[in-house]
Structure 1
């Protein structure tokens, strides 16, 4: 499965990057390709390209705040969760995504 995502927390520091790290590790361990953009205090990093979004099977928004550019995902299957969900149970979360896609 090809996954793209955005991680963002209220402060834009710790949870943003921890969520990205946990999500990437869990998805790759399950054999999926993943690219996660972060939106934090230092701006947007690892920005998703239009082709990445187009080719994705699912979009994961792991965010505690409203993210910038949500309209990019209007025609995609999208799962939105708080960053804590991805941080606390990343493997379980990826299994859940597999079951619904």
Structure 2
């Protein structure tokens, strides 16, 4: 399974990057391909390409604020959660993504 997503918190510093790290680690541990874009105070990093999105089975939006480019995920299965969920329960969240992706 291939997961792509965006992490963005209200301040755009700590939680954004912690959520990205936790999601990537949990997805890799589960054996999935993963790429998480961050939208923080220094702008967009690890930007998702059109190909990344096209190949994705599911999109995770671990966000506390409005993000730029959310419309590019149109037509994809999307799970949206606060960054806190991605940080505190990344393994459960990845399991939920796998469940949603196969529905």
Q: Where do 4+ consecutive residues of structure 1 move more than 2 Å?
A: none
What is residue 41 of structure 2 aligned with on the other side? 41
Superposition pairs of residues 85-96 of structure 1, within 5 angstroms: 85-96=85-96
Deviations 1:37-87 (A, max 9, x none): 000000000000000000000010000001100010011111100000010
Q: How many residues matched?
A: 101
What is residue 62 of structure 1 aligned with on the other side? 62
Counterpart secondary structure, 1:86:
helix
TM-score, structure 1 as length reference: 0.98
What is residue 16 of structure 2 aligned with on the other side? 16
Question: Where does the alignment leave 5 or more consecutive residues of structure 2 unmatched?
Answer: none
Query: How far apart, CA to CA, are the structure 2 residues paired with 1:37 and 1:97?
Result: 17
Query: How far apart, CA to CA, are the structure 2 residues paired with 1:47 and 1:96?
Result: 24
Question: Where does the alignment leave 5 or more consecutive residues of structure 1 unmatched?
Answer: none
Query: How far apart, CA to CA, are the structure 2 residues paired with 1:90 and 1:74?
Result: 24
Query: How far apart, CA to CA, are the structure 2 residues paired with 1:35 and 1:96?
Result: 17
TM-score, structure 2 as length reference: 0.96
- Once the 2 structures are TM-superposed, how far is the Cα of residue 97 of structure 1 from its aligned partner? 1.2
Query: How far apart, CA to CA, are the structure 2 residues paired with 1:79 and 1:48?
Result: 17
- Once the 2 structures are TM-superposed, how far is the Cα of residue 96 of structure 1 from its aligned partner? 1.2
